[in-house]
Structure 1
Amino acid sequence: MPASITLSKISWATPDGRPLFSDLDLSFGTDRSGLVGRNGVGKTTLLKLVCGDIKPQSGAISVNGSLGILRQSVQVAPDETVADLFGVADALAVLRRAEDGEATADELSSADWTLEARMAAALHRTGLDAEPQTPLAALSGGQRTRAGLAALVFTEPDFLLLDEPTNNLDRDGREAVIALISGWRAGAIIVSHDRELLESMDAIVELTSLGATRYGGSWSHYRQRKALELAAAEHDLADAEKRMAEVASKAQATVERQAHRDSTGRKMAAKGGIPRIMLGGMKERSETTGGDNARLAERRRAQALDEAKAAREKIEILQPLSVTLPPTGLPASKTVLKLDGVTAGYRPGEPVIRDLSFDVTGPERIAVTGGNGSGKTTLLSLITGELEPWAGMIGVMTGFAMLDQKVSLLDPSASIRDNFRRINRQADENTCRAALARFMFRADAALQAVSTLSGGQLLRAGLACVLGSAPPPLLILDEPTNHLDIDSIAAVEAGLRAYDGALLVVSHDETFLESIGIGRRLELSGGDPAG
């Protein structure tokens, strides 16, 4: 029987009672499906349901085949090694004893002499150069992700279940993982906002508040279909609003005609030309007709309202976010940032950045790139003053804002609204609410405590607070798209394209960098900057 995953009539709600899925039907075969949708819609929850981490409140899930699961973060014990992650530490120990002539006859007969070669091949497919005995704690977060994916590939499962597999990877790591998944010939369900990765999918499955929809083909094909759906939904809304106006107009005309007939009857009665018994019958028929007309008009009005509401809800899901920013007024010739001969690090004699010089003039857009550990975050810490240089000079000649991966700019104990008012003290309540609404924090959503937000919501809140009212002339962003859903990334891209200040961006997302119009690159390589 072919490998398959089937979800039938699945319902599930969050612990606070918010429904995520209701009677959800969805199936996956041996193809690669990209799972997309806005933050909080239930993508990670769907993976947890499939792999059995949580149970549906109703419905059934059928899994025919083996699963290989990669979660967003790979947790490790201090003494855990790459071999432990692969689950082969004991088998490797047998090989070591065999090499030393200490293995028993039973161990020699069961030894897996191809094990090391197959491990090396799996690690090579993710672009990771690591030995089986390498401690996982010695690897960066991105390297641990690659090791975890290699361990999954090693087991040759029927389905890969991957949650944001390219998050926190450097460019080389992203390319290796994308190449691996592009060549994967079994089933896969991949939660991702990485448009390069999604371009290699066989299908895109979109989760919305209305349910799940499968689109055959790659990311580009999905976006074309969505554009057509949006145009159709806008046409349906226009038709529904036209019908509402027609229903209201006809109801008003009916009321006016009935009022005219009643008026005519009253005038004739006043002249004494109609017997009293006939007057009673006319009055009764008038009241009956008026009641029937009112009920018919109300039914038509309710139907038109329902059609318009459904059309608006569909547009709400289909319509991309829109972000507009106030101008910064940064002059084109102004020196914004200058570094001259900067050397810095954390341990004496081991500089992370060595003799770095560069400057930013006017509204330049610069991408800071390089592999994991090359000094990108160190450079941002130097610019913002969190780290002092060992040598050289750093000058920041204008106001700036820094948004790091942890969004430490925000106070976790305060609401999004209160954080906005603290950061933008000149903004009044209307400005605050309008700015937050542009980033999808409308009404009570703006009153959520920052500590309760998901990763994507947290970064979106940080962007709203920094960009929403009076953007600074220099904006520094550290991996701004890591936890955003694709619609939010598109909104941020639109906003940054409209931003007229200087941009310094650390990102491995080439699609994002291209979209925001990066004009220059500063490539770091762990002490030897270039670019």
Structure 2
Amino acid sequence: MPASITLSNLSWSTPDGWPLFSNIDLSFNAERAGLVGRNGVGKTTLLKLVAGELQPQTGSVAVSGTIGILRQSVQVGPDETVADLFGATQALAILRRAEGGEASGDELASADWALEARMEAALERAGLIAVPQTLLAALSGGQRTRAALAALIFEDPDFLILDEPTNNLDRDGREAVISLLGGWRHGALIVSHDRELLETMDAIVELTTLGATRYGGNWSDYRARKALDLAAAEHDLADAKKRVAEVARSAQETAERKARKDSAGKKKAAKGDMPRIVAGGLKRQAENTSGENARLAERRHTQALADAEEARRRIEILQPLSVKLPSTGLPPGRSVLRIDAVTAGYEAEKPIIRKQSFEVTGPERIAVTGPNGSGKTTLLALISGDLQPWEGTVRVLTSVSMLDQRVSLLDPKTSIRDNFRRLNPQSDENACRAALARFMFRADAALQIVSTLSGGQLLRAGLACVLGGATPPSLLILDEPTNHLDIDSIAAVEAGLRAYDGALLIVSHDEVFLEMVGITRRLELPAR
């Protein structure tokens, strides 16, 4: 029987009763399917239901075949090794005893002499040079993710269940994982916001508040279909608005005709031209007709309004964010940042940055790239003043704001609105609300406490507070802005940054993001 995953009438609600998704019917075969949707819509919950970690509240999940699961983080103990990820610790111990002449006959009969070589080959496929005895604690988070994925593929399951497999990986790691999954020929269900990875998918499944929709093809195919869906929703909204106007106009014309007819009837009755019983019958008939016309008009009006609201909901989900921002006024020749022959680090005699020099002039858009551990975050700490150089100078020559991965410039205990007013004291309440609305924090959404925001909302709030004031900073620094964001949030951030006319310095491994914000130059830090 071919391997498959079938979801039938599947529903799930949070413990407080909030429905995440309802009545989902999906099936997956030997294909790579990317699962996308806004943060909080239930993507990880759906994976847990497929993996059997959660039981459906209603509906069913049927799995035919074996499943291998990769979670967002790999937690390790101090003595755990790469071999533990592969479940091969005991098998390797037998090989060690056999090599030392200490293995029993049964152990020699069961020994897999090619095991170690096959494990190392699997690690290499994932872009990681390591031996099975390597301590996991000695690997970076990205390296542990690659080791876990290598172990997963080594098992050769019928389905891979992966939750954000390229998060926290450097450029080489991302390319290795994308290449590895691009060659996977069994089934895979992958939650990801990595558009390069999603380009290798056979299908895209989108979760929204309206349910789950399957799109054949990769990310580009999905986006093309979504553009058509948006155009159709906009057409439906225009049609519904037209019908609302037509119903109102028709009702008005009917009322006017009735008024003219009633007036004529009253005049005729007043002259005594018709018997009283006939006049009474005509009056009742007119009243009945008037009531039926009113009910019909109300039904048509209600349906048109409902259709318009449904189209608006679809557009709200499909419509990309568009942002307009005040100008920084930064001229092209203005020097913004100068770093001259800087050496710095955190431990004596162990510099992370060595003799680094570069200058940012005018509204340049610079990507700071390099492998994990090359000093990208250290460089940002030098620019922000959180770290002082051992040698050389760092000079910031204009107004600057930095949004780190925690968006720590926002006070987590207060609202988005209060943060905006604190960071932009010259802005009045109307200007504050208008600026936040441009970043989709309208009305009560602006009153959300920062500590309750999702990752995408947090970065969007940071951008709103920094860029939405009357005079945005001339230099904006971002540290891995797309980590842990859903695709809609990334699109919102891209829209905000495209509207910004100051200088940008961005640490990111997300090549699609860098292209979308219009990077003009790169600063590549070498591996240490």
The TM tier, using the shorter chain, reads over 0.9
Matched residues in 1 for 2:156 and 2:15: separation?
Answer: 35
Asked if structure 2 preserves the Cα contact closer than 8 Å seen for 1:39 and 1:457, the reply is no
Matched residues in 1 for 2:11 and 2:430: separation?
Answer: 38
Inter-CA distance 9–16: structure 2 relative to 1 (3 Å threshold): same
Match status 1:435 vs 2:401:
no
Q: CA deviation at 1:54?
A: 2.0
Matched residues in 2 for 1:61 and 1:437: separation?
Answer: 41
The Cα offsets for residues 473-519 of structure 1, whole Å up to 9 and x where unpaired, read as 00000111112222222232232222110000001111111222211
Aligned letter for 2:511? E
Query: What is the root-mean-square deviation in Å for CA atoms of aligned residues?
Result: 1.6
Q: Which residue of 2 aligns with 1:289?
A: 289
Matched residues in 2 for 1:87 and 1:430: separation?
Answer: 60
Matched residues in 2 for 1:386 and 1:331: separation?
Answer: 28
Q: CA deviation at 1:142?
A: 1.1
Matched residues in 2 for 1:351 and 1:199: separation?
Answer: 39
Aligned letter for 1:26? L
Matched residues in 1 for 2:432 and 2:90: separation?
Answer: 59
Q: Which residue of 2 aligns with 1:138?
A: 138
Match status 1:66 vs 2:66:
yes
Does the residue aligned with 2:343 lie in a helix, a strand or coil?
A: strand
Aligned letter for 2:288? T
Matched residues in 1 for 2:141 and 2:456: separation?
Answer: 18
Q: Which residue of 1 aligns with 2:526?
A: 525
Matched residues in 1 for 2:290 and 2:501: separation?
Answer: 62
Aligned letter for 1:16? D
**Which is worse superposed, 269-278 or 96-105?**
269-278
**Which is worse superposed, 443-452 or 176-185?**
443-452
Matched residues in 1 for 2:83 and 2:439: separation?
Answer: 44
Q: Which residue of 1 aligns with 2:513?
A: 512
Matched residues in 1 for 2:58 and 2:362: separation?
Answer: 58
Matched residues in 2 for 1:7 and 1:465: separation?
Answer: 42
Alignment of 1:124-523 (within 5 A): 124-469=124-469, 470-523=471-524
Q: CA deviation at 1:191?
A: 1.0
**Which is worse superposed, 491-500 or 338-347?**
491-500
Q: CA deviation at 1:526?
A: 4.3
Give the TM-score of the pair, scaled to structure 1: 0.96
Aligned letter for 1:499? Y
Inter-CA distance 214–131: structure 2 relative to 1 (3 Å threshold): same
Aligned letter for 2:398? T
Asked if structure 2 preserves the Cα contact closer than 8 Å seen for 1:123 and 1:130, the reply is yes
Does the residue aligned with 1:388 lie in a helix, a strand or coil?
A: coil
Q: CA deviation at 1:411?
A: 2.2
The Cα offsets for residues 419-463 of structure 1, whole Å up to 9 and x where unpaired, read as 222222233333333333333333333333222233333223323
Asked if structure 1 preserves the Cα contact closer than 8 Å seen for 2:456 and 2:490, the reply is no
Does the residue aligned with 1:458 lie in a helix, a strand or coil?
A: helix
**Which is worse superposed, 190-199 or 444-453?**
444-453
Matched residues in 2 for 1:75 and 1:464: separation?
Answer: 35
Matched residues in 1 for 2:237 and 2:284: separation?
Answer: 40
Aligned letter for 2:495? A
**Which is worse superposed, 324-333 or 184-193?**
324-333
Matched residues in 2 for 1:436 and 1:115: separation?
Answer: 58
Inter-CA distance 526–121: structure 2 relative to 1 (3 Å threshold): closer
Aligned letter for 1:366? I
Aligned letter for 1:488? S
Asked if structure 1 preserves the Cα contact closer than 8 Å seen for 2:457 and 2:489, the reply is no
Q: CA deviation at 1:137?
A: 1.6
Asked if structure 1 preserves the Cα contact closer than 8 Å seen for 2:37 and 2:43, the reply is yes
Q: Which residue of 2 aligns with 1:12?
A: 12
Does the residue aligned with 1:40 lie in a helix, a strand or coil?
A: coil
Q: Which residue of 1 aligns with 2:75?
A: 75
The Cα offsets for residues 348-389 of structure 1, whole Å up to 9 and x where unpaired, read as 111000111111111111110100000000000010011111
How many residues in Structure 1 have an aligned counterpart in Structure 2? 527
Asked if structure 1 preserves the Cα contact closer than 8 Å seen for 2:463 and 2:496, the reply is no
Matched residues in 1 for 2:332 and 2:490: separation?
Answer: 27
The Cα offsets for residues 139-183 of structure 1, whole Å up to 9 and x where unpaired, read as 111111111111111111111111111111111111101000000
Does the residue aligned with 2:188 lie in a helix, a strand or coil?
A: strand
Inter-CA distance 109–137: structure 2 relative to 1 (3 Å threshold): same
Q: Which residue of 1 aligns with 2:31?
A: 31
Matched residues in 2 for 1:121 and 1:437: separation?
Answer: 52
Inter-CA distance 17–448: structure 2 relative to 1 (3 Å threshold): farther
Inter-CA distance 105–36: structure 2 relative to 1 (3 Å threshold): same
Aligned letter for 2:513? F
